[in-house]
Each structure stands twice: as C-alpha cells, then as structure tokens.
Structure 1
Amino acid sequence: MSEQMQNIPIAKPWIGESEAAAAGRAIMSGWVTQGPEVAAFEQEFATYVGAKHACAVSNCTTALHLALLTVGVEPGDEVITVSHSYIATANSIRYCGAIPIFVDVEPHTYNINPTLIEAAISDRTRAILVVHQMGMPCDLKAILAVARRYNLPVIEDAACAIGSEILWDGQWEKIGKPHGDIACFSFHPRKVITTGDGGMLTTNNLEWDKQFRLWRQHGMSVPDTVRHGAKQVIVESYPMLGYNYRMTDIQAAVGREQLKRLPEIVERRRYLQERYHEQLSDVPGLKLPTEPNWAKSNWQSYCVRLPDGCDQLPVMQAMLDAGISTRRGIMCAHREEAYQIEAWSCGSDRLLESEGATDRAIILPLFHQMTEAEQDRAIAVLKTATQV
C-alpha cells in the first residue's frame, strides 16, 4: 500500500531495537521488577529535568495519588484543579476522599486560568493541582503567587509535558524541576516517550521522596535492593498502609533508552508544529494553539479550534474517511456520569471555556515518524473539511 493510501494515526511511539535490547537486558538479568534499572532511570530522569529527586511508579495516576497524599490531602478536603483534563486528574483527588473544585481554562493555551484560582479557595482547600495540558506549560509564576499567599502546595500534572520548558528567572528550565512542589509524569504510549505504561514523581523535598518510596511498595520498611544485597538476614516491617505502585525493571530499561531519544523527539515535534502553524494560518476562523513567549511546549498534541459554524464530529468523520485519525478536544470530567453523583461546588456555567474547548476543538496527528507528505495530506483534508 502506498504512503498516500496508508492510514495516519493520531500518535505513534518511537521505539526500536535499542528499547528491545534494553528490555532483553533486564529480562536476562533475572531482576525484572523494581530494581537497579529503576534506580538508574530515576537518576537519569532527575538529572534531565533538574530535580533533586525522582521516584518511578506504575503510571501517572498513581503518581498524582501519592503526590496528593504526601502534601496532606485527606477525606473532605478540597483540591483546586481543572475539569478540562483526562479524567485521571480528578480521579486522583477522589482517591484521597477529597473533592475536586473545578475552575475554567484559558481559551488559547487550554490551561488553568490563574485569575480564577483565588475565588475558588476556601477554608477546606488543601492543594492546587494544575495540568500542563497537551505539553503546554501553565503560567506557574502566576499560579504560585496565589498559592504561596495561602500557603497551599502546588502539584503539577505534567503527564504530557516531558521535554517542555518554561522561562524562569531569565533561564529556560525543564518542566519537572519542579517549579511547584511536586511534578508527575506519564510514560503511556500516547505520550512523548513511553515505557509501555509508567509514571514518575519529581520533587526537591527529600522527605516527600522518601514517602513516595515507602508508599509505592506496600509501605515496606526495607527496599528489595537493600534486603537482597545484605550480608545479614533482614526482616522488613510494614509501619503504614501502602500501595503496589511499582515500576518494573523491564519498563525502566526501556525508559532509559527513550530518555536518550527525547531531545530528538522534541526537536522533530517542534518542527512539525511549525509546519502546521504555517500552513493552517490562512484557514478562515480556525484558531491555532498559542505558545506564550515564556513557554516552549514539547507539542505532545496539536489542537485546533474549528471555525464558527463548523461542526466537530462531521469534520472528524471526514478526516477518518480519508484515513486520518483525529481526537476531539480534551474531555471535561464534570460532564461524566461519575462526576454527576454529587453537587460539586462549581457549575457548568462557570466552565464555558472548558466545555467550548471540548466541543469545538480537534487534535491532529503528530508523532516523531510523521512525514511531511503525511502532514500535508492531513492539512489538505482539514482545509476541505472545514470549509463552511
């Protein structure tokens, strides 16, 4: 089948022989669960983002759960966040027995609107959970200014943002340094780099990092690596209720290879974004994503808002009929049945930008191996489909 006839996926991980060899190395070592490969991946990841500590876990949802628990979120507390995110963001709050307080997003970045945060703070607010949506950094300086006035920790849902950067005190720094208190990453295949599944927490707080490590392994007092390397018998204890949130050494070995690819992946994605922007700028009414001058996205996704009078689903269907995959705008958790069982303190009338982004935006294909011919084909079909 020719390239012109092949379907174009929305995303595709860039993995190959080096990842296969790394997985094989871990398998042949005999140590396949959390062990030396995980420890090495954590160190390399921390070095890459500029954090003092990095702790690998099973996925980003578990990372968010541990982050919220560690900063003290308890049943009945409130956590300010966005509805306009994959449902895992809100779910992690509910895992703690806490209540997500949804605020609206900015229309051009799809990120939390910092000017709306203060009005959502109550005497039950325990934390602020922000999302770097589709890899675009939030306005962390504005968010932290509010959070620090109220002594609230800031957790960054950086699931999509590995490789993204923010201008901080005149220097470009990686998302995950962290600039808030804890940042959480995903290695799902839909993300920029993948371990099949997996997650990472970064922080500069040593005590919090120790807490992550206890909780991720059932609260066990002695790590496997210490016990197996000991010259004397060690019997572990379980002083707290913990979780099975470990990453395997097979995953971590793959992650180490993916981390080596990351600079090239981000460079390619930024190039493809520029081509999208150049060739779509002349489409009447089509709103393209905006990158603030203090942010450098990794362009995990390229999301456009359709012209007025142009219906989302017919456009997506026309592209699918032409063999081009798309996705609707990022979901809103408050619209889902699981979030309609209680009267949340925000109503949909206060989330108009979030709902508009879900209903009026589509995500276009973008992945490292995407050719210019494939991208040109996607652009041509979109232009035809959006003519109103």
Structure 2
Amino acid sequence: MIPIALPFLGDEEANAAREAILSGWVSQGPQVAAFEREFSALVGAPYATAVSNCTTALHLALVAANIGPGDEVVTASHSFIATANSVRYCGATAVFVDINPDTYNIDPLKVAEAITPRTRAIIAVHQMGLPCDLPALAALARQHNLVLIEDAACAAGSEIRVDGIWERIGKAHGQITCFSFHPRKVITTGEGGMLTTSEPEFDRKFKLLRQHAMSVPDTVRHGASQTIFEQYLDVGFNYRMTDIQAAIGRTQLTKLDGIVTRRRALAARYTEMLGNIEGLRLPSEPDWARSNWQSYCVRLPDHVDQREIMQALLDQDIATRRGIMCSHREPAYAGEKPRHGLRQSELAQDRAILLPLYAQMTDDDQARVADAVRTELGM
C-alpha cells in the first residue's frame, strides 16, 4: 500500500521520548520550553508557545485578540473545519470568502470585499503548505485595524519572499501564526501545535491561558524553596503540550530542512511525470513563495469523476484524498448561508485530489503512482 502520507519518525525520536519519560517530568516542562526556543529561532519569531494542537492554537489566538460574540472573522471555507470551528468557539461569526484557483489560498480581493464594521480579524490559511499573499493581507489588516492570524497548520518549513528577502512562515508577517504537528504534517509530535508572535502581550496571554490561567506555573512551584499558592486569574484552558511530545518535536526540527528538500524534489518530479496529461491541472508556486509541499494537489479533467478515479487508485493500493473540504458545506454550518460566492472553493473540493507524498517515498513508488494516474486518465 502506498499511503497518502507517512510521518518521518525513527530511532532518534524514540530515544528522545524515552529520555523524557525516564526524566520523571512528562507534562509541560523543560522540553517544552526548549522546543519553543528552538522553534522561534528557526522561524525568526521573537516568541513561541507550544500547545496541544493547532485547533487550540487558533482558539488561543482569537481569545488573546479579544474576539467574541458579535465579531466577524474573515477566512476561507476551503480549509479543514478546525479553522471555522475556532471562530465559533469564541461566539464569533466566520465570514467565508473564496480562494484563488491557482494557489488554493484565500483571495485578498475577496477579503477586502467582505470587511464590515464588525470585522475584527482575518485568518489566512497557508493551504497545503503554500504561503498566502501575506503582504496584501497584512496591508488590509493594517488599513482596517484588524488582527491577521496565519493558519499555518501545514506550513512548517515554507518560505515567502518579503522585500527581496526569503523568510520562513512563522516570522511576524501577521500578528500571530499557528502551526500543527499532526502526523499528516511535514514534522510531527503525534499531536501538537505552536503559536508564534512578535508581540509580547500576546505571548504572555498564550502562556497564561494554555495552563488554566494559573498565576504561578507548576514548573516554578516545583522548583521553589518556599511554599507558593497559585491563583487562577481568568477562565483558562488545558491546552498544554507534554514534554514527551516536545522531545520528539525537537528532534523533528533538526530534520525539517532535509524533509522539505526531499518533498520539494518529489513535487518537482510529479510535475515532470504528469505534465503532459491533457486537462490535468498541476499545482504551482508563485515566484515569491516556496512551499514545503505538505500535499500535492491535482485538478482533474472535467470529464473525470473524482470518486471513481480515487477508487480506481485505491484498488491498486494507492491512497488519495479528495480536494480540501469546504466548511460551509458541512452540516455543522448548514444554517449559515454564505454571504459571498464560493465557487472556486467548491470546485477545488469537487474536482481535485491529493496524491501520496512523504519524505520516505521511493522513486519507484512515485513512478507507480504517476503511471496509475496516467493510465486512469487514458494517457
């Protein structure tokens, strides 16, 4: 079976987890703190906060930005449902806008049209690892005094060129960036997430709220020479990452550049092998973006049935996934009629499929996938 994805884990991660387990400190502790320091240094952000997953990261970002009932957040429906759910957790309204069909990312022109006096934030999703047009979105956010939150769940290791300089996603392009370390992502801690920011007040709120808004962290109390009684300053959350996960994450960080290099090579090879299939639309990068190629998404010819080709490939032991979901089509959001047209988002869900791509993928396995796609499309 050729899976859609495979986490790049080995003895190094197993040994790191073992050391954390045997240290006697397995919840949030020194490994989490070290992971935060190393991640912030890697992406060029002044502050980083590790959390339990990217959904909780998005929720914390919105809570820290004081988003609440009556507020609107402009974002893409074309994203995993966690993006929209994080807005609803706050009692706010997700205002969905369409994507650019060339990048599968939120269209800044559509964002501009959707801003109202109730708009408080923009969540820009770096879909499948490809960076959004951050300069355009940041300009809109500044113009309307909005918080720009980057949903970078898929984008660890991706880069964007700003003023002629290549910078990693996670540096302070918006106010807050949220990452995922789910096994489908480029690096993983099993589950886990990270927030980065350049604003110390946001960082203070993240670290306070992820641990029940506890006035004195347990790491401080356990190391104190005097008895300390903590207080709970607000209604916080249990959104902590464990030291076991962080130890794995620190090891994964050392492999990130190599993983991204390999994935970029695999993506380029897919493009070479599939480039002459009539009607098949391949993904591409703007000249100002470098994707980590978390996924390789192809748009099928109009006459091809998405489910049929996915089943045909599965029958050959090749896993695929449909195009990225649209939250507005899910029953949980059925009562909210979209205010803006989402045709490109719906076409991307209905006409695209994701092909297997992971760092350990062999050239032979990739050729097998490409040959099967060509055969099923009549080439």
1:382 has 2:376 as partner:
no
* Letter of the structure 1 residue corresponding to residue 359 of structure 2: H
Partner of 1:177: 171
Distance 1:342 1:287 in 2: 32
Choose which of 322, 344, 360 in structure 1 pairs with 2:351: 360
CA contact (8 A) 1:219 1:241 kept: yes
Q: Once the 2 structures are TM-superposed, how far is the Cα of residue 143 of structure 1 from its aligned partner?
A: 1.0
SS in 2 for 1:304: strand
User: Residue by residue, what CA displacement relative to the aligned partner does 1:16-37 show, whole Å, maximum 9, x if unpaired?
Assistant: 1010010011100000000000
Distance 2:222 2:171 in 1: 32
Distance 1:196 1:31 in 2: 18
Distance 1:298 1:14 in 2: 14
Partner of 1:269: 263
SS in 1 for 2:209: helix
Structure 1 window deviating more from structure 2 (90-99 vs 114-123): it is 114-123
Partner of 2:361: 370
SS in 2 for 1:177: coil
Partner of 1:4: none
Distance 1:228 1:170 in 2: 48
Distance 1:86 1:342 in 2: 17
Structure 1 window deviating more from structure 2 (143-152 vs 59-68): it is 143-152
Distance 1:169 1:93 in 2: 32
Partner of 1:67: 61
1:181-260 aligned at under 5 Å gives the runs: 181-260=175-254
CA contact (8 A) 1:72 1:126 kept: no
1:293 has 2:284 as partner:
no
Q: Once the 2 structures are TM-superposed, how far is the Cα of residue 344 of structure 1 from its aligned partner?
A: 4.3
1:313 has 2:304 as partner:
no
Distance 1:216 1:117 in 2: 30
Q: Once the 2 structures are TM-superposed, how far is the Cα of residue 387 of structure 1 from its aligned partner?
A: 2.3
Q: CA RMSD in A?
A: 0.8
1:83-102 aligned at under 5 Å gives the runs: 83-102=77-96
Partner of 1:3: none
Q: Once the 2 structures are TM-superposed, how far is the Cα of residue 179 of structure 1 from its aligned partner?
A: 0.5
SS in 1 for 2:166: strand
Q: Once the 2 structures are TM-superposed, how far is the Cα of residue 343 of structure 1 from its aligned partner?
A: 3.7
Choose which of 4, 26, 36 in structure 2 pairs with 1:10: 4
Partner of 1:30: 24
* Letter of the structure 2 residue corresponding to residue 116 of structure 1: K
Partner of 2:108: 114
User: Residue by residue, what CA displacement relative to the aligned partner does 1:302-356 show, whole Å, maximum 9, x if unpaired?
Assistant: 000001111111110111011100000000000000001234434xxx0000000
Partner of 1:160: 154
Partner of 1:80: 74
User: Residue by residue, what CA displacement relative to the aligned partner does 1:248-291 show, whole Å, maximum 9, x if unpaired?
Assistant: 00000000000011011000000000100111110101000120
* Letter of the structure 2 residue corresponding to residue 362 of structure 1: I
1:302 has 2:293 as partner:
no
SS in 1 for 2:105: coil
Distance 2:143 2:313 in 1: 48
Q: Once the 2 structures are TM-superposed, how far is the Cα of residue 232 of structure 1 from its aligned partner?
A: 1.1
SS in 2 for 1:291: coil
Distance 1:342 1:147 in 2: 25
How many correspondences in the alignment?
379
Q: Once the 2 structures are TM-superposed, how far is the Cα of residue 178 of structure 1 from its aligned partner?
A: 2.3
Partner of 1:124: 118
Unaligned 5+ residue runs, structure 2? none
CA contact (8 A) 1:59 1:187 kept: yes
Distance 1:40 1:144 in 2: 30
* Letter of the structure 1 residue corresponding to residue 227 of structure 2: V
Give the TM-score normalised by structure 1. Answer: 0.97
Partner of 1:137: 131
CA contact (8 A) 1:303 1:361 kept: yes
User: Residue by residue, what CA displacement relative to the aligned partner does 1:196-252 show, whole Å, maximum 9, x if unpaired?
Assistant: 000000000011101001100001001111111111111100010000000000000
Distance 1:334 1:178 in 2: 29
